[in-house]
Homo-oligomer: A and B are copies of this chain.
Amino acid sequence: MTSTVESIAAPGVPGLDEAGRALLFTQARTANAFADTPVGDEQLAAIWELTRWAPTSANLQPLRVTFVRTAQGRERLLPLMNEGNRAKTASAPATAILAVDSRFHQYAPTLLPIRPQLKDALDADESLRATMTSFNGPLQAGYFILAIRAQGLVAGPMAGFDAAGIDAEFYPDGRWKSVLVVNIGHPGENPWFERLPRLDPADVIRWA
């Protein structure tokens, strides 16, 4: 493993090729309409297979995913989306509800065996758990969106939904808490608006 990574990341190697940069970053767009082309469960599982390797604090991986891709599942989800997000969600062959597991630390002894005391420390500190989920949930959501694109699919992330309603409908035991809903599929007709501007790097970057 070590030698493979070293050879990939060695000085002089330019990193991701132009097609990969275009696919994940520079040419990728958020889709608002989807084609009928189906997306199989194995393609959805493959998105997670990429996502899960990217790093999280103390390797604790709090993000959880519900893939909604049946008519019944979509019927449960649609009324809980904001009105402006319903038509596009109805047109997507699959939609991921991203959530955080409020008891993610249950897995700490397996995920970080070098710190066996971590599970009890987190068990006793709900505020620290909340800090960790509120940071690492969105962090992993960022990985997840790029992993959708890495599968040759388009992503349509949406913050406009009834989170309490989704949690009550999909996670009635109260343990998982929804944080983002993401449509997944292939672009349909007129799938995106004109691209919106990005900040001038001079307003974002400082040097020290």
Q: Please list the residues of chain A having a beta carbon within 8 angstroms of any beta carbon in chain B.
A: 1-2, 4-6, 8-11, 13-17, 19-30, 35, 37, 41, 45, 48-55, 57, 59, 61, 63-70, 72-73, 76-77, 107, 110-112, 134-143, 145-147, 149-155, 157, 159, 170, 179-180, 186-187, 191-192, 195-199, 201, 203-208
A45 to B72, CA, bound (A): 47
User: Across the interface, do A67 and B208 meet the contact criterion of CB distance under 8 Å?
Assistant: yes
User: Across the interface, do B11 and A186 meet the contact criterion of CB distance under 8 Å?
Assistant: yes
Contacts of A138 in B (CB 8 A): 134-139, 142
List 14 interface pairs A-B (beta carbons < 8 Å), by A numbering.
A8-B19, A15-B150, A17-B19, A17-B20, A25-B147, A26-B53, A45-B201, A48-B201, A52-B198, A52-B204, A54-B146, A67-B207, A107-B203, A110-B197
User: Across the interface, do B25 and A199 meet the contact criterion of CB distance under 8 Å?
Assistant: no
A146 to B144, CA, bound (A): 11
- Chain copies in the assembled complex: 2
Contacts of A142 in B (CB 8 A): 54, 138-143, 146
User: Across the interface, do A192 and B2 meet the contact criterion of CB distance under 8 Å?
Assistant: yes
Q: Assess A66 versus B9: contact at CB under 8 Å? Given A25-B147, A48-B201.
A: no
Q: Assess A25 versus B50: contact at CB under 8 Å? Given A9-B153, A110-B197, A138-B142.
A: yes
